Amino acid sequence: MTTKIAKIAVSAATYWIDKPYDYLIPEELQSAALPGVRVYVPFSKGNRLCEGIILSIADDSSYSGEKLKAIVRLLDETPILTEAQIKLALFMRDRFFCTVYDAVKAILPAGLWFNDQGERRAKDKMLPMIRLAVSAEEASEAMETKRRAVQQARILEILCSFEALPLHDVLTHADASRPAVKELEKQGLVELYEREVFRRPEVYSDELLPLPQLNPAQDKVYHGIRELADSGKAAAALLFGVTGSGKTSVYIHLIQTTLSKGKSAILLVPEIALTPQMLQTFSSYFGNQIAVLHSSLSVGERYDEWKRIRSGRAKLVIGTRSAVFAPVDDLGLLIIDEEQEESYKSENSPRYNTRDVAKYLCARAGCLLLLGSATPDISSRYYAETGRYAFFTLPERYNDMALPEVRIVDMKRELRRGNTGDISQPLREELQRNIERGEQSILFINRRGTHKLISCVSCGYTYRCPRCSVSLTYHSSNRRLICHYCGYSQRVDALCPDCGGELKYNGSGTQYIVEQLNELFPGVEVLRMDTDSVAPVGSHEALFDRFKKENIPIMVGTQMVTKGLNFENVTLVGVLSADQSLYAGDYRAGERTFSLITQVVGRSGRGTKPGRAVIQTYTPDNQIILQAAAQDYEAFYAAEMELRRLQNAPPICDLIAVTASGLVEEQVLRTAHYIADWMRNVSTDIPGVSVMGPAPLSVLKINNRYRYRVNIACHADSAMRRRIAQVVMECSTDKRFKGVSVYADNDPVE
């Protein structure tokens, strides 16, 4: 028989030794050993068993098979990866500096992987069923002979009216026990079997609604994008629409057109908080054709949704970042809503950007990638300007309502007037008006907890995390100081632990804002929306439902409240600390601030009532804040592009970061210096390459690990990526850098 050799990606292979390894396929496994099947193989000198996945198979009749190790056993009966997904994993390895197996783990749902006992984390859910094993006439005759066996007679009577029913339901309605069923089965009158059922999140189950009516501006955009999609060629388009312009209605029509052709569609949203609203909206038009994928689902739910997609039962996928890997058949449209959001970038290996994966998928499928936003990513807007993307705009709100009237409040003036609180007098007055009218308000502050830090008025002592280079944040709900990076917590002291002096509480978070509002408006309910408040409830959806259905007057929240939410009775938005993200120390600080302010202001006045917004700032003349207040994206874009050209920052060039981290700062810094010097030496022959650093990250130490980074501004072609991969591998294998982890990242968000 011909010798068969499998090329296998091995889970135990680290990045610097990651490659397809050759393994012999035993004769008894050759029929089932196919590309995309996971296997157990011996690896390394110790031949310890580890997982692998078959990438390809080759015949080699001349190979003796003496030196190759053999596959021990198969872990899957059928391939869990398609050929296209294997190619995607290989693309991710080259583009995102990760191993093939890291990419595979990102592509597949957690339920397919195995636990420590060797069992799959999610099993197929089977429902016990019962049906007649004879005709209804024969069952009716049998009922006559079972007048004394009342339970058996009732079971037969129910089954005569139905083809099959869940066993539990039959036992309940017949008030019968399992022995009665066993007796009927023994007599050959009924048969028991199992049917697979899917664990699913709750979706809209009423009659489907007609598609929403498009206004002339939306209709023009729809037909323009549809013409691009109908070309049958891979393409990308940017849809820039002001908040409330009705981009979602355009998405719905485009998806309907795609599904009507028998193709599949994927819609991505940046936050889990948006998924319930999106799901409710889209399921009212597309019903059970929808599958939803996000991290709040249970392992079983995600696994079952994955199976529905793969089998073709679901043709429309809605979800967060990881939903881009949904195993759809014949992709026809991929939409990324709020495409500028940083949550589309993975911060753990593989450090992929969803946009890059989406571009690859659409290029392979020959379909359209549509990016939508009210504040597009600067790079996306630049690509639209230079012709790489088609460009469509919705400059007006759908209901012809004006954009919110915005007022900028100078908090320095408030301090001079003696107001030391976080709620300015103008904002307080606007909140009071809304309460009297029965209208709702949203306040945004991008910090959870009660106080940013606690310090001693005598000696200046502050509570610092012992494992991270940050201050601890005080949470009044449990009277504890907590590190928001590593989770360390401790009790707060009555007096300064250093000198015994008085402690002062500085800075404000969502908890403290709620306390101030309770003092200003006694008896008025205030809802808090942040990761601390969501955890006890179990979902964002529960809190948003309460806010809407109970008409709670005020909601205070972090970034969760800034985008995608549509509450018709919200007529006031307050931005409490507009300056906070302006000075983050990275080239995206201005873009991040503009987007946050613009998005949260856009939550106001989305119904029939006019909206207002109050922006509180210590720098009222800052151009970015003024542009965000005016919702003037084009002016912001023009100014930001001038700055990017001066900085030689994306999109003028690509940016790749190489980060070193470890327990000993001196070793980490020495490694980072070596990386910078190495990259400068190998880049002397390449024009336009700039090596910057090393420099500490904005938070130098997290969980006792120091972090330094080297930034490389360049044209990130395959040759440059190979050089960067080479220095990562060298630092990971050289004994001089033992104890230091090194990784590369495309266009990092930190």
pLDDT at 335: 97
Condensed to tens digits (0 to 9), the pLDDT of residues 540-583 reads 677 888 888 899 999 998 877 776 677 889 999 999 987 877 87
Condensed to tens digits (0 to 9), the pLDDT of residues 475-517 reads 877 788 889 889 899 988 888 988 888 888 776 778 888 888 9
Helix (H) or strand (E) run with residue 696 in it: strand 690-702
What is the average per-residue pLDDT within 717-738?
A: 92
Is there a contact between 511 and 445 (Cβ–Cβ < 8 Å)?
Answer: no
Place of tokens 């990016």: 371
In this structure, are strands 21-24 and 4-10 parallel, antiparallel, or unpaired?
antiparallel
The three-class DSSP label of residue 92 is: helix
pLDDT at 638: 96
Q: Which residues contact 166 (CB under 8 A, 6 or more apart)?
A: 127, 128, 129, 130
More confident residue, 38 or 457: 38
Condensed to tens digits (0 to 9), the pLDDT of residues 1-36 reads 577 899 999 999 999 889 999 999 998 998 899 999
Is there a contact between 476 and 513 (Cβ–Cβ < 8 Å)?
Answer: no
| 39 strand-pairing partners | 52, 74
Task: Report d(CA 642, CA 625) in Å as an integer.
Answer: 17
* Helices (H), ranges, 386-525: 411-416, 425-437, 510-520
The mean pLDDT of the chain is 88
Place of tokens 């019962």: 130
Q: Domains in the chain, please, with CATH?
A: 4-108 (3.40.1440.60), 126-196 (no CATH), 216-394 (3.40.50.300), 405-450+509-643 (3.40.50.300), 451-507 (no CATH), 654-746 (3.30.70.600)
Condensed to tens digits (0 to 9), the pLDDT of residues 164-205 reads 889 998 998 888 889 989 989 888 988 999 888 888 876 656
Q: Which of 505, 560, 551 is nearest to 528 (CA)?
A: 560
Condensed to tens digits (0 to 9), the pLDDT of residues 393-438 reads 998 877 777 788 999 999 899 989 988 888 999 999 999 999 999 9
CA distance to 143, 182, 445, 602, per residue, from 148 (Å): 10, 16, 72, 71
Helices 633-647, 378-385: crossing angle, 10 deg rounding:
90
Q: Which residues of 172-188 are buried (b: 16+ CB within 10 A; e: fewer)?
A: eebebeeebbebbeeee
Condensed to tens digits (0 to 9), the pLDDT of residues 194-207 reads 888 888 876 656 78
Whole-structure pTM value: 0.89
Q: Which residues contact 348 (CB under 8 A, 6 or more apart)?
A: none
- Name the pLDDT band for 145 (thresholds 50, 70, 90): confident
Percent of the chain with pLDDT over 70: 95
pLDDT at 253: 97
Is there a contact between 415 and 472 (Cβ–Cβ < 8 Å)?
Answer: no
Query: Given a cut of 70, is residue 62 above it in pLDDT?
Result: no
In this structure, are strands 235-241 and 264-268 parallel, antiparallel, or unpaired?
unpaired
What is the average per-residue pLDDT within 360-365?
A: 96
More confident residue, 153 or 434: 434
Query: Given a cut of 50, is residue 537 above it in pLDDT?
Result: no
Query: Given a cut of 90, is residue 729 above it in pLDDT?
Result: yes
